[in-house]
Amino acid sequence: MRAALAIAAAVAAVALLPASAASGRQKPYVLTAIADIGTVYWRYDCVHYRASEWSLGIRVFPTTATTGVAYRAGGFTRRRTAQPGYPTIWFPFRPERRQRLSFVQGTEAGTLRAYMTARFRERDCQSYRPPRLSVQLYPR
């Protein structure tokens, strides 16, 4: 009987948690906006892996041009093409504390390049503890 009560209490506790907290993966948070390119988001997973893992995402502004995006975390690299008005492009959760996004956008006025580096700390598992950030923008 005690075992059944303990199981019922555990199930009730999990059922009362918000879905994102129960899964360990939190909802996305705005990290920054990059001029004339888009909004960069971040999220974390501090439950499913031995070490914390983070993910970056980008959504280009609907009034901007097609943008090439490169993601780097350690030796891992992914390239994507972001279209205006399309859903957010998410890159995989990675344990590397330094993650970088590079943007290239060609327009009639010229080529716009931007670089964003996020530096996570081990305890960056709260919405109020975003990673340290550096952004460079190179209009041409």
15 lies in some domain: no
- Identify the pLDDT of residue 136: 96
**Gap between the Cα atoms of 130 and 12, Å rounded:** 31
Residue 123 maps to which CATH number? 2.60.40
Give CA separation, 58 vs 23, 40, 54, 87, in Å. 22, 5, 14, 9
Q: CA triplet 40, 81, 100: central angle to 5 degrees?
A: 45
Maximum CA extent, the chain: 74
Domain tally, the chain: 1
Full-model pTM: 0.79
Residue 5 lies in a domain: no
CA within 13 Å, CB half, 24:
11
Domain containing residue 92: 24-139
Residues 6+ away with beta carbon under 8 Å from 136: 114, 115, 116
> 118 Cβ partners below 8 Å, 6+ apart?
31, 42, 54, 56, 98, 99, 100, 131, 132, 133
Q: Assess if residue 17 is contained within a domain.
A: no
In a domain, 19, yes or no: no
From the first residue on, what is the mean pLDDT of each consecutive set of 10 residues in the chain (140 residues)? 51 44 68 95 86 93 96 97 95 96 92 96 83 91
Please check whether residue 114 lies inside any domain of the structure. yes
pLDDT of 107: 87
Give domain status of residue 93, yes or no: yes
In a domain, 38, yes or no: yes
